[in-house]
Structures are given as C-alpha cells and as structure tokens.
Structure 1
Amino acid sequence: MIWVQEIFYEAKGLIDYFYRSVIVLQLMRQFTDRDLKYPCKIRFASNFLMLQSIVEVEEKLRLLVASAEWRGLRNSRSFEASRVLNTIQRESFWIESKEILMFMEPIVRVFRFVDGDGLTSGYLYEAMERARRVLEQLKETDNRYEQILKIFDKRRDENSLSQIHYAAAILNIAYYCGPRFKKNLKFKEATEFIGDTLVPQAERGDFYEQLASYQMKSSLIFSSSAMIMMEKCRPPNHVVLQPVREIEVLEMLHKQKKRNRLSAEILVDLVYVRMKSLMMEKKATLEQKNMLPINLDNISVYYDDENVEDIDREIVG
C-alpha cells in the first residue's frame, strides 16, 4: 500500500518539523491550542492516532502556514519548511488522509474493544463484520482497498476469530435476534465443535436438543421477559474465591502488639492480602460491568494505553 505509506511518511514529517524547534512548536500550539500525537512503533495504532490528530486541526494548520508569524520564522524558506508548507496546502494530502482514517477507524475500534477489560467474546464476530462491511463498501468504489480487505480477512481468520468466537456470536441473543445477523456456515461448524469437543458424551443429546430449540427461536426460550432482559444485561461469569489465607493473616496481625515486630513472613502475607483486596475490588467492578450489554456503536477509537501493534506495518509495508 504505497499511497498509505506516503501519507504516513508526510504526516510524520509534519510532526518531526513542528517538534524539532521550540519556537515552531510554540507557534503551532498557539494556532492549534493542542499537541499532536507523535508516532511510536511500540504503541497501538500510533500511525492512525498521529494522522487523526493532524486531520482534526486541518483548518488551523492551514491558517498557521499562511500567517505572518510563519513567514517571519528564521527558517521559513528552508527545504524542510517548504516541504511542510506544500504538504499542508496540498488538497490531496487531506483527502487521502481522511480516506485512510475512514478505513482504519472500524479496525481500530475492534482492537480498542477487545483490548479493554471485561467479557467481549460474544461481540467480537459482530465487531469484525462491521469493520469488514466498511472495507467492502470502500472496495466497491476504489480497487485500492482490495489488498487491505485481503489483509483484513487473513488476519481475521488466522489470528482473531476462533470456533469459540463463532459459537459465542450465535449465543449472543442480541446479535442473533438483531437485523445484522446473517447465517454463516462457520456458525454450524462452531456449534458442532462445541458439542463434539466440550460437551460430555452423556450430555450431547440434551445439548443438541436445546440448541435446536434455540435456533428455531422457541417461545420457551425467547419469551417476552427474556427479550427485555436481553436489552438490559448479559450473563456474567462467576468465580468463587475462598479467602482462607486472608482470614489467617488478619488473625495473626490482630495478635501482634507492635507493627515493627512483624516477621518477614507476615509482611509478605500482608502484601498478599492487600493485593488480593485490590484484585477483588477490580473483580467486583468487572462483574458489574459485565452485566451490562455492549453497544458497539459507542466504542471509542481514542486510546491512552496502547499495546504493541503491527497492522500499521503490514498495511504500510
């Protein structure tokens, strides 16, 4: 994808020039009233976030390079400054930048979605299908997106979706009963995989009988109360934890008269109890979060703690 690589290269050139000089940086901040995002190879979707931060201040950057303050800079006529000026004033740069953001945004939404806390397996297939639908629409009007679509399909099939995700998707009642659901042969293969692999032999008859009722949307399952609950919550996963060690440690601490006499072993146990307490608090928060249905339309593309990301390199390369 040479055209994508060229746009990212030009965008990075803008960032490099603005942040190379304190005077230029201050002038840029004066006009845009914000900082731009610097690309980082070890951060998630950094090229996307960098380009997004530039496009958001397009008009302000145009005013910047057309201002008397810009022309008054000492190096305003240097080769680097002229290249920045040409990039910002070139209409094709902004058009292609917005096209890149358009096709990358649904992909970044998927990554942002699965990288957060909480249960997401029942929604991953639908999120991937939404992203693919955007790429298909772009491919219909521009053949340049055919290669991007092939990369997306390859990564989806080899790295993202498994039989478990297909099975979880069909068991997600909100998606299964929604207008976006479309039958797929992989759903059948996934449910057979679950039945043959994860369900004990003695229980398979009951499993497939219940599955048939579910797929036929039996009124015994899809009752009016069940449909209401579907919109309000989703079933959580419960993990029972036995706080035996915590009780023992607290009893030992209660017997200690002076804190500075705590043994090293008890201090280790005290740290354990504190960390376990924090983990339990987070677990309770996640359980409450997991009770709520996920609205894929509200997944943000903004990210503060990105993970290592390589799809930019694959598209650019």
Structure 2
Amino acid sequence: MKKYTGGREIVRPGVTQFATQFLQLQAIVQQKQGLRNMFNSEEFRRSKFGREKNGLAYEARQIIIGSDFWSKANDILKVYEPLVKVLRLVDGDEKPTMGFIYEAVDRAKQSIQKTSRYYSQYQEIIDKRWRFMHSDLHSAGYFLNPQFQYGVEHGSDVYQETFEGTKNVILRLERNMDDQIKALNSLVLFKDKDETFATPQAQRVWSRMNPGKYNFFISL
C-alpha cells in the first residue's frame, strides 16, 4: 500500500479515541487518489484479492472506487475537525485553557454551521454535551480574557451569559458583600477599559499576554 500512498501510513493514532477516528479518516481522504490507483492497478487485479467477486477486498475496492464514501467522509470531517481543535486546546500544555474554552466551543459551532449541510442534526448533540460540561468558570474565563473582551465582536447574548457566569463565581468566592461590590465594580472598569485598565501599558499588552498574567500585571 505504501507504494501508492507515498510511503505514508494511513493508521494514525491520536490522544483520544475521538481524535484517532478523525486522524484515521483524514488520512484516508488525503490518500484518496493513491488508494484508487492501488485498487485499479494491474498488480492488484492480478492478485488473489483482485480476482475475487465477493469478500472484504472486493467490498473495499467498491467503496474506494465509488463516490458515496468520499462524499460522506468529507461531510464527517467538516464536523470532526473543529471539535478536534477544541480537544487539542483542552489537552495542550502550552497555555492555561480556561480563558479560551468558551470561545473555542463557540467558534467550533460556527465553523460547523458554515461548512456542514448537516449542522442541524449535530447542533443538539453539541449543545447537549456543552450544557453538561459548561460551568460558570468557562464564562468567567471568557469574560476576563482581554483578548476576547477587547479584541473580538460578540453579541449581547454572549456578553450577558459570560457576565452572569463571572458574577456567579464572584458571589460564590467572596462572601463579604463589600468585597463582592468591589469585585463587580472592577468588572465594569475592566469591560470599559477604565482607570488602571486604560493605561498605555495595559492597552499595549492585552493582546500579547496570557490573561492570568495580564490581570496580575494590572493589579501591580
């Protein structure tokens, strides 16, 4: 087989079963022409498997030579790829992920909606899973991330949900009402780029610094 796939392996294990399935299917689609060339080759036709009129080899050839499998495989990849990117973010060690998960899931849903004709079939599955996983910490991570607060356009529904989630976290962590009020006031200052958040230094580093380090920098 490697003769027709440029020496590349099709089996590509991933960190999770979900990622493995994606990588496996992606590798097959990338080798579409090579696999077709293999099954159409004189070498295969003369082989024991190439002369069979039934069995696994015959069925495999019919699938690879046909068009239905490739159409469906591409549809599946359009759904899988954005979700695998979210998994890679969660599993990665490059940066703390809490401030990025909310936006990553939202971006994945938008990507699937734009590219997949079957989005409506997957929307409820994705939303149900997200409702199970989602917590106020994800909302707070998004709201307190200056890269999203200042750097992207977001609708009023996103602002309302993430603000409410952040407020819930504050009310749970801060039992003293005066401290709660101070923290909530700080949220407003942060959102409006006011006081310490309005300094030239703060405005220069918000897009370059990890959200946690940014908020530490502002508090100095």
Q: CA deviation at 1:222?
A: 3.4
2:188 to 204, 212, 221: 212
Which secondary structure state, in structure 2, belongs to the residue aligned with residue 53 of structure 1? helix
Report percent identity of matched pairs: 29
Name the counterpart of 2:103: 126
Which secondary structure state, in structure 2, belongs to the residue aligned with residue 232 of structure 1? coil
Distance change in 2, residues 1:38/1:73 (3 Å): farther
How far apart are the structure 2 equivalents of 1:138 and 1:232? 30
Task: Render the CA deviation track for 1:236-278: whole Å, top value 9, x for unaligned.
Answer: 57xxxxxxxxxxxxxxxxxxxxxxxxxxxxxxxxxxxxxxxxx
Name the counterpart of 1:303: none
Amino acid at match of 1:98: N
Task: Render the CA deviation track for 1:114-134: whole Å, top value 9, x for unaligned.
Answer: 012241000001100110102
How far apart are the structure 1 equivalents of 2:12 and 2:192? 52
Does 1:59 find its partner at 2:36? Answer: no
How far apart are the structure 1 equivalents of 2:13 and 2:182? 54
Name the counterpart of 2:170: 195
How far apart are the structure 1 equivalents of 2:131 and 2:86? 15
Distance change in 2, residues 1:222/1:104 (3 Å): farther
How far apart are the structure 2 equivalents of 1:194 and 1:214? 16
* RMSD across aligned positions (CA): 2.1
- Aligned residue runs from structure 1 range 159-238, under 5 A: 159=133, 161-183=134-156, 184=158, 185-201=160-176, 202-218=178-194, 220-236=196-212
Residues 78 and 115 in structure 2, CA contact (< 8 A), matched pair in contact too:
no
- For this pair of structures, how many residues does the alignment match? 205
- Aligned residue runs from structure 1 range 102-113, under 5 A: 102-113=78-89
If asked which structure has higher relative contact order (CA below 8 Å, sep 6+), I would say: 1
Task: Render the CA deviation track for 1:12-43: whole Å, top value 9, x for unaligned.
Answer: xxxxxxxxxxxxxxxx1111111112689x73
Q: CA deviation at 1:182?
A: 2.8
Name the counterpart of 1:157: 131
How far apart are the structure 1 equivalents of 2:104 and 2:140? 15
Which secondary structure state, in structure 1, belongs to the residue aligned with residue 17 of structure 2? coil
Does 1:95 find its partner at 2:71? Answer: yes
- Greater alpha carbon shift after TM alignment, 107-116 vs 185-194: 185-194
Which secondary structure state, in structure 2, belongs to the residue aligned with residue 62 of structure 1? helix
Amino acid at match of 2:112: L
How far apart are the structure 2 equivalents of 1:223 and 1:65? 66
- Aligned residue runs from structure 1 range 72-87, under 5 A: 72-78=46-52, 79=54, 80-87=56-63
Distance change in 2, residues 1:108/1:58 (3 Å): same
Q: CA deviation at 1:219?
A: 5.6
Which secondary structure state, in structure 2, belongs to the residue aligned with residue 37 of structure 1? coil
Unaligned residue ranges in structure 1 (runs of 5+): 1-27, 238-317
Residues 136 and 165 in structure 2, CA contact (< 8 A), matched pair in contact too:
yes
How far apart are the structure 2 equivalents of 1:38 and 1:174? 34
Mark the structure with the bigger radius of gyration: 1
Distance change in 2, residues 1:231/1:38 (3 Å): closer
How far apart are the structure 2 equivalents of 1:44 and 1:103? 12
How far apart are the structure 2 equivalents of 1:234 and 1:39? 31
Amino acid at match of 1:154: K
Task: Render the CA deviation track for 1:72-121: whole Å, top value 9, x for unaligned.
Answer: 21121322222111111111211221111111100011011101224100
TM-score, length-normalised on structure 1?
0.60
How far apart are the structure 1 equivalents of 2:2 and 2:155? 48
Q: CA deviation at 1:58?
A: 0.8
Distance change in 2, residues 1:192/1:58 (3 Å): same
